[in-house]
Structure 1
Amino acid sequence: MTTAHQERPLAVLVGVQLPGVDDVEHAADLAELGRLVHTLGFEVIATVSQRRSALAAAAVLGEGKLKELAEITGGSGVVPSGAPERKNKARARRAAEGGEDEDDGELLGDEGDEEDDGGAASDGAEQRAARRATVVAVDHDISPSQARNLERATGAQVLDRAGVIIEIFHRHARSREAKLEVEIARLNYVAPRLRETGGGGDRQRGGIGGKGAGESALELDRRKIRDRIAELKQELASIQREQSTRRALRQGQRRVALVGYTNAGKSSLMRALTGSEVLVADKLFATLDTTVRALHPEVRPRVLVSDTVGFIKKLPHDLVASFRSTLDEALEASLLLYVADASDPTFRDQLGVTRSVLSEIGASEVPSRLLLNKVDRLSEDERDALRLEFPEATLLSAKTPADVAALREAIIAYFEASMVEAELLLPYAKQSLIGEIYENARVLSEEYGDDGGRLSVRAHPAALDRLRSLLAR
């Protein structure tokens, strides 16, 4: 019986170490790509890496490495100079020689010249076929022609880093807003990669009476994509207006946003701080939708905590633009909590990526605190070293209740420091606002006279201004 693990399609990673990228950074990039590919549902069986001054213009890798890659995928290792049909003829020749099953195009492979007899030979061929990678994941953004040439040389599907990330987002989006944002990014990614099919030279009849060149099938497909993107943007704008209204209603409330690299532990902290059942998974981009919950146990006035989408190196610009509304939670927060996985050797670079993306949307001016998470995986000496390097940071583990309780108290203390005392007059005609006052301020005392109630409160200045405005209407 085969297991789910064995049924995963196989993938090979490709990376080019460019000038200015050291060995540690290059290895970390490839390891991260491996986790992305694994999140997408593939099993990584090999990595092909090369040190070059630039990506090869034709197919990313040099000739030697390209052949090495093709040995893993069962391809020819050569970029055909002619039309795609030539590749099919070559595949037919390999099939005739026993290297490939022509009927379904599955590469059977021939790794080595070992002699097997009878059924053993058949079993060996099946085992070798299972080791063929059907996907090549490239740790760079590559052009459509480079992807096409790699596919011809390897006989495998090719995804660049942006394509992998977009596909993960596409599979993990849950809310309507996230789905729209991802679909826009996906269509923008696909449009320039469309190519003519076998009969792609045919044109639709154009002009009045059918005269004129008309549109080719490729042009027609691209126009359909542009129309679809416009339609999606219109629907997204409507949803974002509703989101803006909700955020406006929360204006003046105390809001904390958890931000950081993907898989840093933001959702685990969210669950621990709020008691909510948000998804927690040890995989990249488990969270794509912003979740807002109240700090638990609740305090008055309430503190709202937001869990946001994680960041990653080389995040496609279309996705940064598409998720701007999602990231607005960070822009409009009262306090940002930068969450970093302290057990990851590259967390310093990850922090840099997080700060860079937030700076792009103008959130770098929002007050922030640094949380070094997952310290339960570190030795005491490593923790001491981090305290020296980051004296302003809070070291904690989302799995340790005492650490979470201390963080909760620190959040409350931060907001308490900015609160001021004031007196509000609540006329009897506006008693319906009493709930609003208790929601946005801490009521210290109440006295009632002929003209209404006099409430001594403690609240944030912005919340006080809003309450006074409501009472003055």
Structure 2
Amino acid sequence: MTTTHQERPLAVLVGVQLPGVDDVEHAADLAELGRLVQTLGFDVIATVSQRRGALAAAAVLGEGKLKELAELTGGSGVVPSGAPERKNKARARRAAESGEDDEDDALGGDDDEGDADGAGSRGARRATVVAVDHDISPSQARNLERATGAQVLDRAGVIIEIFHRHARSREAKLEVEIARLNYVAPRLRETGGGGDRQRGGIGGKGAGESALELDRRKIRDRIAELKQELAAIQREQSTRRALRQGQRRVALVGYTNAGKSSLMRALTGSEVLVADKLFATLDTTVRALHPEVRPRILISDTVGFIKKLPHDLVASFRSTLDEALEASLLLYVADASDPTFRDQLGVTRSVLSEIGASEVPSRLLLNKVDRLSEDERDALRLEFPEATLLSAKIPADVAALRESLIAHFEASMVEAELLLPYAKQSLIGEIYENARVLSEEYGDDGGRLAVRAHPAALDRLRSLLAR
């Protein structure tokens, strides 16, 4: 019996090191782009990198590097006439004075040569996708496609495509489709007859409307429909969150692949998806801390963040991020084994600040410390004295975190007495759900319950009893 192994399509990464970006940061950005492309289902065979003052206006790279890229994809390496690169004269003069070879200066040239050799050893197979670690204009993408003969995706396009493939719930699918259509709309161009114009009937083109304008109008209409459907779902989500108002809620936030879902599974015993890939989780999952305590502590796992996250995705996932905004406590989860986790924390805090969640009480969890040496752990304790070092894979670490969460909420709880009239005995479940009942006594007018609860939960219970 013969098993056929289907080869994954190949991709080439393209990065331009701009002024102010050091070698370490540039290498980390390209490594992250590589992981994104692999998550999308491609094998990365080479990286073409160049140091420039700015992206080339026509096709991102200079002429020499563009030809090097085309050798990996089987393209001509030439931008078609009519779209010449517009040189920045001041930049060219500075490069000439400094002796910098702006067109062909590769970062890590030996690595690029090694990558190119690796591509050649695969025989006739060529890269079919070029992934650019920048947001590029539609014209730059078209020129790159013409020069390389490959599909071109910028960083935003790669991330949006991953979100599109990983979305599971109806809400996530709607959010991603809105972002995807907003990304596609400005990149549409005429095909076939080009700018032909017709007077349209019902369902056809409008008077004097080209095929391109018709396509863009359809996209605008589709986005409007999706937003209406999403708004209805978000109203339901808001109702569910309102019912949880006053409950003790913890939101796990952090960079993608920091280990949030693994921690969620360990804390709650739930079967949430855990995968060693970027953006494995796009839907917010809410589960109770396990073993349960009274009142319950709810844990929510949120979508991960990433550097240069497309703005449309931040806007689309606003309702998902509202879980963080309305949480009682944020747990910032960072992969301590990743050398760039400090920058990743900065990205997480920046996005949460953008939605107004920077004022929510928070704690820092440095995860995956099982991958570090004891000396590295000691250094982290000195640098982050308030952080909790743990591994989601070590039961003792998870148990200690659970106890610290319980202690955190216990500190803010107060004792009080509630009068439960016999006519409102149906609220007994609500009381047990939101407070710890210390004792119960029943008299002629109803039950007197000594409880311990959070002040906000007590106010809500008193409001229900007073109605």
Cα 1:153/1:2, change in 2 over 3 Å = farther
CA distance 1:378–1:198, shift in 2 (3 Å)? same
* Distance of aligned partners of 1:5 and 1:325 in 2 relative to their CA distance in 1, 3 Å threshold: farther
Alignment deviations for residues 243-262 of structure 1 (CA, whole Å, 9 cap, x no partner)? 00000000000000000000
Moved more, 77-86 or 266-275: 77-86
Distance 1:92 1:168, change over 3 A: farther
Secondary structure of 2:88's counterpart equals helix
Q: Distance in 2 between matches of 1:117 and 1:229?
A: 42
CA contact (8 A) 1:91 1:102 kept: no
RMSD of the TM alignment (CA)?
A: 7.9
- Of stretches 4-13 and 402-411 in structure 1, the one that deviates more from structure 2 is 4-13
Name the SS of the counterpart of 1:370 in structure 2. Answer: strand
Contact persistence 2:65–2:104 (CA under 8 A): no
> What is the number of residues matched between the two proteins?
467
- Post-superposition offset of 1:200: 1.5
CA-to-aligned-CA distance 1:407-426 (integer Å, 9 cap, x gap): 00000000000000000011
Specify whether residues 115 and 25 from structure 1 end up closer, same or farther in structure 2 by C-alpha distance, changes over 3 A only. closer
Cα distance, 1:450 vs. partner? 1.0
CA 114–449 in structure 1, closer or farther in 2 if over 3 Å, else same: closer
Partners in 2 of 1:211 and 1:160 — Cα distance? 32
Deviation digits for residues 434-455 of structure 1, max 9, x if unmatched?
A: 1110000000011111111110
Q: Given the superposition, is the C-alpha separation of residues 98 and 121 from structure 1 closer, same or farther in structure 2, using an over 3 Å criterion? A: farther
Instruction: Give the Cα–Cα distance (whole angstroms) in 1 for the partners of residues 99 and 148 of structure 2.
Output: 14
1:231 counterpart SS class: helix
Q: Are residues 373 and 56 of structure 1, via their aligned partners in 2, closer, same or farther at CA, if it must alter by over 3 Å?
A: same
Q: Give ranges in structure 1 of 5+ residues lacking alignment.
A: 123-127
Q: 1:109 to 1:415 in 2, by over 3 A?
A: closer
**Residues 276 and 62 of structure 1: CA distance in aligned 2, closer, same or farther (over 3 Å):** same
Instruction: Quote how far apart the aligned CAs of 1:208 are.
Output: 12
Aligned-residue sequence identity (percent) comes to 95
Distance change (3 Å), C-alpha of 1:421 and 1:201: same
Q: Which moved more, 1:209-218 or 1:285-294?
A: 209-218
The change in CA–CA distance for 1:287 and 1:436 in structure 2 (over 3 A counts) is same
Equivalent residue, structure 2, for 1:458:
452
The match for 1:45 is 45
Per the alignment, do residues 117 and 315 of structure 1 end up closer, same or farther by CA in structure 2, a change over 3 Å counting?
A: closer
Cα contact 2:47–2:115 (8 A) shared by 1: no
- Please give the TM-score of this superposition, normalised by the length of structure 2: 0.90
Alpha-carbon contact 2:11-2:128 (below 8 Å) kept: yes
Distance 2:286 2:207 in 1: 54
What is aligned with 1:84?
Answer: 84
Matched, 1:207 2:206: no
Q: Displacement, 1:95?
A: 39
Higher mean Cα deviation, 221-230 or 210-219? 210-219
Deviation of the 1:129 alpha carbon: 5.1
The offset of 1:90, in angstroms, is 35
1:101 to 1:176, Cα distance in 2 relative to 1, 3 A: farther
Aligned to 2:99: 99
Alpha-carbon distance change, 288 to 190 in structure 1, aligned in 2, over 3 angstroms: same
Residues 340 and 373 in structure 1, CA contact (< 8 A), matched pair in contact too: yes
State the alpha-carbon separation in 2 of the partners of residues 121 and 21 from structure 1.
Answer: 31
Q: 8 Å contact 2:264–2:301 — kept in the other structure? A: yes
> Given that residues 9 and 127 in structure 2 are in contact (C-alpha distance below 8 angstroms), is that contact kept between their aligned partners in structure 1?
yes
Q: Counterpart in 1 of 2:286? A: 292
Q: Find the counterpart in structure 2 of residue 138 from structure 1.
A: 132
The alignment's TM-score, normalised by the length of structure 1, stands at: 0.89
Task: Tell me the distance in 2 between the aligned counterparts of 1:385 and 1:107.
Answer: 31
Conserved 8 A contact 1:100-1:109: no
Residues 50 and 104 of structure 2 are in contact (CA less than 8 Å); yes or no, is this contact kept in structure 1? no
Moved over 3 A (4+): 1-6, 82-111, 113-122, 128-131, 206-213
How far residue 222 of structure 1 moved from its aligned partner, in angstroms, is: 0.3
Distance 1:211 1:450, change over 3 A: closer
